[in-house]
Amino acid sequence: MRRLLCPVCTAVLLSATPATFAAPDAGAAPARPTPTAAPTDAGTPAPADPPIAPERLAEARALVPPLLLYGQLQPVLGTWVEYTVLPKQGMSKPGSFPVRAAVVGETPREHDTLYQVELDYQTMPRSLIVVWVSRAGTARAVVERLAISVPPNTPVSIPVDLLADHATLRGAPVRQRDTDLRTGPFAGKGREQTFRLESGQQVTVVTSARVPVFGVESLREAEVTWTAQKGGTGARPALDAVPLSLPRLPVP
């Protein structure tokens, strides 16, 4: 399940060979992307987004959780939202399972604030993905690092440095419309958007300001569907060990 657990991170974790990881840039450590003001229309590509080589798109996309890529971080410390994730029929691990996303850390810095966001995959084995996301005021969020923890392995973190809503990673906007969420805990007004990836596959997201953390009520990809079930406050960090931090290494 490509977007359920980051394949790049999983490979690094299982192989325990840091030299096999290559960042999604051309090899050298790039300057961190300069966040611009958040666009008023989330479906409009930002022309200033740093380019990503076509052959690295899949790798780069795997480093940004889809809920963050197609939503917008709502950084209220302690808030959480739980999703039911339903894999496409015929996949190796059929059946739905819950994933709880939460904002569990907030560190003010000189020019921005760094947030720790966790996604707890309640699978077997249970897995935890952690992203550290920076944002300055109303500027667009940047994913600085990502970590994965799959007990009993040591957690591993890798550098990312990508805009959380990078237009190329989202794909080309196909359509957007207002919609009504008639049932469920987040009933009310929503916004539906569809994007087309370079593979031709489409992603449809429904967003609502009533949904904590990412503002995503549902997300339908080629492989899985995410549906928000409930939300709340009082979330605390689940990561209980310091991850092994891997450096950015050049492409061989």
The pLDDT of residue 222 is above 80: yes
Residue 90 lies in a domain: yes
Please, which pLDDT band fits residue 247 given cuts at 50, 70 and 90? confident
- The average pLDDT across 219-235 equals 96
pLDDT over 90, % of the chain = 66
Residue 246 lies in a domain: no
Distance between CA atoms of residues 165 and 162, nearest Å: 8
The pLDDT of residue 5 is above 70: no
What string of DSSP letters covers 46-102? -TTSPP--GGGHHHHHTTS-HHHHHS--B--TT-EEEEEEEEPTTSSS-S-EEEEEE
Distance between CA atoms of residues 4 and 91, nearest Å: 12
Residue 28 lies in a domain: no
Residue 242 lies in a domain: no
Residue 65 lies in a domain: yes
CB atoms within 10 A of CB 54: 9
Radius of gyration of the chain (CA): 17
Residue 183 lies in a domain: yes
What letters, b where the CB count within 10 A reaches 16 and e where it falls short, cover 144-158? bbbbbbbeeeebbbb
What string of DSSP letters covers 9-47? HHHHHHH--GGG---SSSSSPPPPP---BPPSSTTS--T
Identify which has the larger pLDDT, 43 or 112.
112
Residue span of the structural domain in which 11 resides: 7-15+60-234
Structurally, the chain folds into a number of domains equal to 1
Identify which has the larger pLDDT, 125 or 89.
125
Distance between CA atoms of residues 162 and 171, nearest Å: 15
Residue 88 lies in a domain: yes
